[in-house]
Amino acid sequence: MTASINDVAQAVGVSASTVSRALRGRPGVSDEVRDRIAAVAAQLGYTASRSASSLASGRTYTIGVLVPYVGRWFFGTVLDAAEKVFSTAGYDVLLYNLGSPETRKRFFTKLPVRKRVDAVLSLLIPDDDESAALRSLGVPLATTVGGTRPGFTVVGIDDRAGTESAVRHLVNLGHRRIGMISGASGPLHWTTPIERRNAYLDVLAEAGIEHDAALEADGDYTVEGGERAMTELLAASRPPTAVFAQSDEMAMGALRALRRHRLKAPDDVSVVGFDDHELADVVGLTTVAQPVAEQGAEAARLLLRQLDEPGAEPPRHVQMPIRLVLRETTAPPRPRGPQ
Amino acid sequence: MTASINDVAQAVGVSASTVSRALRGRPGVSDEVRDRIAAVAAQLGYTASRSASSLASGRTYTIGVLVPYVGRWFFGTVLDAAEKVFSTAGYDVLLYNLGSPETRKRFFTKLPVRKRVDAVLSLLIPDDDESAALRSLGVPLATTVGGTRPGFTVVGIDDRAGTESAVRHLVNLGHRRIGMISGASGPLHWTTPIERRNAYLDVLAEAGIEHDAALEADGDYTVEGGERAMTELLAASRPPTAVFAQSDEMAMGALRALRRHRLKAPDDVSVVGFDDHELADVVGLTTVAQPVAEQGAEAARLLLRQLDEPGAEPPRHVQMPIRLVLRETTAPPRPRGPQ
DNA sequence: AATATGAACGCAAACGCTTGCGCAACAAGG
DNA sequence: CCTTGTTGCGCAAGCGTTTGCGTTCATATT
């Protein structure tokens, strides 16, 4: 079928080992022979079989990437950036889309990446068993989502600081009834919703605002969930004048709910999101921005570094900057008159 | 390190070949032995090395997926759906993110998928050389984006019908100055923008509207591009009263441009998009919906079928339904008075 | 009872690379 | 001129599977 290393060796008149060394830049080959080999290899369109070379060397030059939902903006963006880093370093990426419990379970029991990847980047938080399974692979591990786990190097953001800036912004605007749309219903070990909720409660307390449980609703990190949650909040006996959504997608759902109720942001209720989604600007959403692509790229780089320097102790936790970006969905509450 | 097939064989007291046959459901193993092998394999946590088995068998149980931009909604959604189909069939997916010309070039010259995949799903349109390179792999090929290529089975939509319904909608509303934001600047062989443009021109002609070149602008299929394009159109001596954007992302960019100009849709200008993006509903965008995830899933299924029945002639082209979904960014033109 | 027929299993040869080791050949050092 | 290195290359043993073929043995066939 396609040319093998022996075909090249034969054509050049050297042994297969020399071809192997020459093509991979290993020492022990004269420049002259190396050039001839390169020429013949190019002419024959030879590429080493990955299966064969990884079987022989143990290195796969492949990274496993675990993602809950490839289709969602956040994960897609992280994946995009990470893939670029990996591929320019000569690594391929094996993608596992582990959104549903079944596929997730299947993955962790069969562990199809065993002996197949040199490292894994997990965009989901593994529970104890799952992370033990991953550690059993004996390869470097990284994740870009909240919740540090032993054996993983995690790159993330300061969730507390981020939500504090968002909620304080609302407080400073004069809001007292501040709702929150959270995403608590996710898997366990996923600390982000909890961190953000705690920060939310802290800011309220610090502002002397009493917490009202009727002002919290679960939006499941989706647009539809955000819409449902906002609808729920609007049905409260005393609805909020402002809401903090733990993700832009939920915030957008909230905006949709407002529109359905013939209410407007920020006139009737202020809304602030989290992420700085690609389309947040389109809808004028005030939000706390996090460097999503950069997190993916950085996690990828850290993984590659671990592969280059097997000895070195990998960084445990790196934090990326966040910042509040003010747009048009937040304003002072109305009841007290215009401006 | 991890258990090999010989470890299992030894533990059970049979040969490696029997273990191999047993675990893969091949005939020639008694039920009793098969059960014992399964038990021991499970206990030892044995999983066959993919490198070794694909080297030996030639089958990789891996599909290569080529994507221009994983981070964009359309591609992310297609990928998500396709991956699900592949993974439930026991196939892994190798992801190649080929957005930039360099990575794309590198991919097609080095062809890292050679001997590494059983099939490839391309979410980008290869040019002649590229598609020849892919065909040289000798595996089934499919694509989900416009522009049929020899050797590929393509699943897509009727671009003509889709844009006709969109533009006719604007015509029926009474618009005469109808602009278009296209994405012509993409790679060659990408027939979608051309198809859509032709359909746009045809509808105008059929309505007796003279075509005005100043009413067309390139939006590059991005939000920013759409914004630029709309800005450009608004600067025309006689701006459009309605615009058809070839993608929802460009349409959203257009909406943003309108907002920046203190104009409103549909009051000042009607906007219709294409795709039915996840967030089209949030911004109330009228658009022509296409079944994005279904296209990915269907393409994946067709590929798998070709792997199952190597003899059969694969379908060349399958078309999925589209439909116009009316929301709030289209209305009759204003000049003629209210309603 | 002798033979044919399968079923169940083992042997050993691939699959296409990588890599430790050995062996020339040649340059430099005494 | 004989060592001692060094450089350039080939040999051959893996890496962990799959699979064609051969062997054994129990069962069915005449």
Chunk chain B into consecutive blocks of 10 residues (it has 339) and report each block's average pLDDT, rounded to whole numbers.
Answer: 89 95 93 94 92 94 95 95 95 94 90 91 91 91 83 93 97 97 72 92 96 95 95 96 97 95 95 95 94 97 90 85 96 66
Contact indicator for A118, A60 with CB cutoff of 8 Å: yes
Bridge partners (DSSP) of residue B97 are B67
Residues of chain B with Cβ-Cβ distance to A112 below 8 Å are 47, 50, 92
Bridge partners (DSSP) of residue B274 are B288
- Which helix (DSSP H) or strand (DSSP E) does residue B62 occupy? strand B62-67
What distance in Å separates the CA atoms of residue A262 and residue A270, rounded to the nearest whole number?
14
The whole-angstrom distance between residue A188's C-alpha and the CA centroid of its chain comes to 17
Query: Given this model, what pLDDT does residue A115 score?
Result: 87
Taking the CA atoms of A57, A58, A61 and A62 in sequence, report the sign of the dihedral they define. positive
Residues of chain A with CATH 1.10.260.40: 5-48
Query: Given this model, what pLDDT does residue B338 score?
Result: 39
**Greatest C-alpha distance within chain B:** 90
Q: Residue A69 has which token pair?
A: 């939902």
What distance in Å separates the CA atoms of residue B270 and residue A299, rounded to the nearest whole number?
43
Report the CATH architecture of B62-157+292-321.
Answer: 3-Layer(aba) Sandwich (3.40)
Distances (CA, A) of B219 to A339, B78, B253: 38, 22, 9
pLDDT tens readout for residues A48-88: 999 999 999 999 999 999 999 999 999 999 999 999 999 99
Smallest CA–CA distance from B82 into chain A, residue = A97
According to DSSP, residue A273 is labeled E
- Which helix (DSSP H) or strand (DSSP E) does residue A180 occupy? strand A178-182
Closest nucleotide to B8 by C1' from CA? D16
Residues of chain B with Cβ-Cβ distance to A99 below 8 Å are 80
Residue B4 (CA) to nucleotide C13 (C1'), in angstroms, measures: 19
Residue of B93, B256, B259 lying closest to A95 (CB–CB): B93
Give the residue from A23, A49, A108, A115 with the most B CB atoms within 10 Å of its CB, the best one to mutate: A115
Contact between the CB of B42 and strand D at under 7 Å: no
**Token match 């929802």: residue?**
B248
Residues of chain B with Cβ-Cβ distance to A115 below 8 Å are 2, 47, 49-51
What distance in Å separates the CA atoms of residue B39 and residue A92, rounded to the nearest whole number?
34
Give the number of residues written for chain A: 339
Q: β-strand A323-325 against A286-289: which pairing, if any? A: antiparallel
| The one-letter amino acid at A268 | D
Query: Given this model, what pLDDT does residue B309 score?
Result: 83
Smallest CA–CA distance from B281 into chain A, residue = A256
Q: Classify B254 as helix, strand or coil.
A: helix
Residue B137 (CA) to nucleotide C12 (C1'), in angstroms, measures: 31
Q: Residue B119 has which token pair?
A: 């099939």
Cross-sheet strand order for the sheet of B270-275:
B216-218, B178-182, B242-245, B270-275, B286-289, B323-325
Query: Given this model, what pLDDT does residue B145 score?
Result: 82
Residue A2 (CA) to nucleotide C16 (C1'), in angstroms, measures: 11
pLDDT tens readout for residues A177-205: 999 999 875 555 678 889 999 999 999 99
A100/chain B closest Cα distance in angstroms: 10
Residue of B45, B88, B255 lying closest to A282 (CB–CB): B255
Residues of chain A with CATH 3.40.50.2300: 62-157+292-320, 159-290
Show Cβ contacts of residue A31 under 8 Å, excluding neighbours closer than 6 positions. none
CATH class in words for B5-48 = mainly alpha
Question: A159-290: which CATH topology?
Answer: Rossmann fold (3.40.50)
Residues of chain A with Cβ-Cβ distance to B76 below 8 Å are 70-73, 75-76
Residues of chain B with Cβ-Cβ distance to A293 below 8 Å are 71
Query: Given this model, what pLDDT does residue A134 score?
Result: 93
Number of Cβ pairs closer than 8 Å across A and B? Answer: 158
Q: How many CB atoms lie within 10 A of CB B145?
A: 21
Q: Classify B197 as helix, strand or coil.
A: helix
* CA nearest neighbour of B92 among A142, A136, A74, A110: A110
What distance in Å separates the CA atoms of residue A82 and residue A142, rounded to the nearest whole number?
11
Across A243-258, average pLDDT: 96
Could you give the percent of chain A with pLDDT greater than 70?
96
**Cβ contact A69–B80 (<8 Å):** yes
Bridge partners (DSSP) of residue A273 are A287
* Angle between helix A5-12 and helix A31-44 axes, rounded to 10 deg: 130
Contact indicator for B145, B132 with CB cutoff of 8 Å: no
**Cβ contact A223–B279 (<8 Å):** yes
**Cβ contact B114–A55 (<8 Å):** no
Residue B291 (CA) to nucleotide C21 (C1'), in angstroms, measures: 61
Strand C nucleotides within 7 Å of a protein CB: 7-12, 14-20
Residue B1 (CA) to nucleotide D15 (C1'), in angstroms, measures: 13
Query: Given this model, what pLDDT does residue A1 score?
Result: 58
| The one-letter amino acid at A146 | G
Q: Residue A264 has which token pair?
A: 């407007």
CATH class in words for B159-291 = alpha beta
Show Cβ contacts of residue B298 under 8 Å, excluding neighbours closer than 6 positions. B155, B318, B320
**Cβ contact A95–B55 (<8 Å):** no
Residues of chain B with CATH 3.40.50.2300: 62-157+292-321, 159-291
According to DSSP, residue A238 is labeled S
By C-alpha to C1' distance, D7 is nearest to: A28
Bridge partners (DSSP) of residue B141 are B120, B152
According to DSSP, residue B331 is labeled -
Taking the CA atoms of B91, B94, B97 and B101 in sequence, report the sign of the dihedral they define. negative
CATH code of domain A62-157+292-320: 3.40.50.2300
Name residues 58-87 of chain B with a Cβ under 7 Å from nucleic strand D: 58-59
Q: β-strand B323-325 against B286-289: which pairing, if any? A: antiparallel
pLDDT tens readout for residues A264-323: 989 999 999 999 998 999 899 999 999 999 999 999 999 999 998 877 788 888 999 999
- Which helix (DSSP H) or strand (DSSP E) does residue A64 occupy? strand A62-67
Residues of chain A with Cβ-Cβ distance to B223 below 8 Å are 278-279, 281-282
Smallest CA–CA distance from B226 into chain A, residue = A282
Return phi, psi of residue A296, to 5°. -65, -45
What distance in Å separates the CA atoms of residue B216 and residue B92, rounded to the nearest whole number?
43
Q: Classify A57 as helix, strand or coil.
A: helix
Look at residue A337 and tell me whether its pLDDT is greater than 70. Answer: no
Show Cβ contacts of residue A18 under 8 Å, excluding neighbours closer than 6 positions. A9, A29, A33, A37
Residue B308 (CA) to nucleotide C4 (C1'), in angstroms, measures: 36
